[in-house]
Amino acid sequence: MEVAWWKEAVVYQVYWRSFFDTDGDGYGDLRGVTQKLDYIASLGVDVIWLNPCYASPDVDNGYDISDYRAVMPKAGTMEDLEQLFREAQARGLKVIMDLVVNHTSDRHAWFADSKANGAKRDWYIWRDGKEGGPPTNWRSYFAPSTWTWCEERKQYYFHSFAKEQPDLNWENPQVREAIYAMMRFWVDKGIDGFRMDVINLIKKREFTDVADPFEMSYLANQPGIHDFLQEMNREVGLDRLFTVGEIPFVGPEDGLLYVGEDRGELHTLFHFEVADDMTTMDLPRFKQIQQRWFDALYPKGVASQFLNNHDHTRQVTRFGSEKFRVESAKLLGLMLHTLPGIPYIYQGEEIGMTGMRFDRAEDYPDVAFRNRYKERIENGEAPEMVLSSMQLLARDNSRTPVQWDASRNAGFSAGQPWIPVNPNYEEINVEAAEDDADSVLHFYRKLTAMRKEHPVMVYGTYRDLAPNDPYLYVYERTLDDTTWRIVLNIRDEETESVHCPDGECMISNYPDSCATILQPYEARLYML
């Protein structure tokens, strides 16, 4: 596999609104990120992915942008952002920005003009209705339909997400040129790349009814998508940067078309086979996913590994165990950093933060949650049932503020946090983790340091030694004459293993690992 700096990188995701608040308005802000850069650098990560901080009415937490060249006041000012770039750079950290160009906010000036049939009338997707209803039976991610009626224009407009997020018409060359110019504006400011929001949705298929509107893959991955991405790459010069595409509804073979080294498109991608398919850890399935992606991509492409982010419940709660919180957080960390691909740490993961559940539907600020909840209640489902079925995977579970210390509001904000702080902050916080030599935090620092030292973690091949074992995950990474074996016991009971070799145990999450019995959530890494 060809050597490249970004393959060796570890990415740290900063969801700034929940990171650190410096002005007491209850929202984290860009100055807060800058203030904590020493902490971020101390984690041994290389790249910061900053969630959207562009001007936005904030219906979908910044994923509804009303001006791509301005900063949302809640986050701060353009000067704050430029200072963040400079100070990150001074610490050797790269910064990538979220790029949200499948849709804008309905309050973007472009949409206002389009609605009014102005010069930008074809910048969005407009259609007449059909038999007194919307043009197709398609479902959007966040609302029942992908179509909303616009009285002003007497037509429907298309939105893959909420009605406040109209999709841009990428068939229009003026739209594409405006987006590329905007991307160059940010590159000129010195950013190092983009995390591209639902980027494989920008190409639409023909607008005709589908047999099963709930099987929503018709929204993504349509023929012609690669022409758009190749054009974008050429026009913005993306090869010299770092790009990761958020690519839903894609399996490994199609995945390679986005990230193959000879494709001139993206560097790497997030796929959703884990995040969308599993409510809890289904280990045999997880192993199949890893194997299929490795086989399809290696050595021509690299996947991105994540188990949680701002859209997905925290990994300890979802795939590990709150009872064995520290053990399972370390196990999942060890796994993420030793599987093939680029590891992403979502803020707070490095201290083993857990997912939060709210007791009442009104407590969930997320537009996706609210819209889906409302639809199900209107369809006659019982509120308690709807709430309990939506609680585990609600996006807000992972959006609670970073727990810095045991003081009020976990040291996140002097004001009223926009979303409640997890009450377990008195026990789980950065300060406590710094003071505890056995903390998840120090374990994560070891993992990132190992990646710098051992190319096998980046470039090694991958071999699953026990694909059918329901509890043990045993795999080897090999590069030249180095072979590492990772042995993970993914359950809350002891497991006997025949896979523990005589080699040197380089890192584990239990003090005295005995050779053949693995403790609950025990994780070991051997050099053979």
Binding site for ligand GLC (CB under 6 A): 60, 63, 100, 161, 197-198, 246, 310-311
Nearest distance from C-beta of residue 99 to ligand GLC, angstroms:
10
CA-to-CA distance for 136 and 142, rounded, in angstroms?
Answer: 16
> Which pair of structure tokens corresponds to residue 161?
């997400």
Q: How wide is the angle at C-alpha 309 spanned by C-alphas 75 and 383, nearest 5°?
A: 95
> Which pair of structure tokens corresponds to residue 265?
């498109």
Tell me the pairing of strands 504-508 and 523-527: antiparallel
60 in catalytic set: no
Nearest distance from C-beta of residue 166 to ligand GLC, angstroms:
12
Task: Give the Cβ contact number of residue 417 at 10 Å.
Answer: 19
CA-to-CA distance for 426 and 509, rounded, in angstroms?
Answer: 23
Choice between 165 and 328, CB closer to ligand GLC: 165
Choice between 100 and 447, CB closer to ligand GLC: 100
Choice between 311 and 522, CB closer to ligand GLC: 311
Helix or strand or coil: residue 65? coil
Nearest distance from C-beta of residue 248 to ligand GLC, angstroms:
7
CA-to-CA distance for 244 and 176, rounded, in angstroms?
Answer: 19
Nearest distance from C-beta of residue 103 to ligand GLC, angstroms:
7
For tokens 């609104």, name the residue: 17
Instruction: Check the CA dihedral 237-239-243-247 and report its sign.
Output: positive
Residue whose beta carbon is closest to ligand GLC: 63
197 in catalytic set: yes
Q: Which of 98, 164, 167, 246 is catalytic?
A: 246
Closest by CA position to 160, among listed 181, 136, 129, 131: 136
Nearest distance from C-beta of residue 220 to ligand GLC, angstroms:
11
First to last CA, the chain: 22
Choice between 130 and 370, CB closer to ligand GLC: 370
Choice between 372 and 451, CB closer to ligand GLC: 372
Beta-bridge mates of residue 476: 463, 485
For tokens 């194997």, name the residue: 291
Q: Which of 29, 197, 311, 349 is catalytic?
A: 197
Report the catalytic residues. Answer: 197, 246
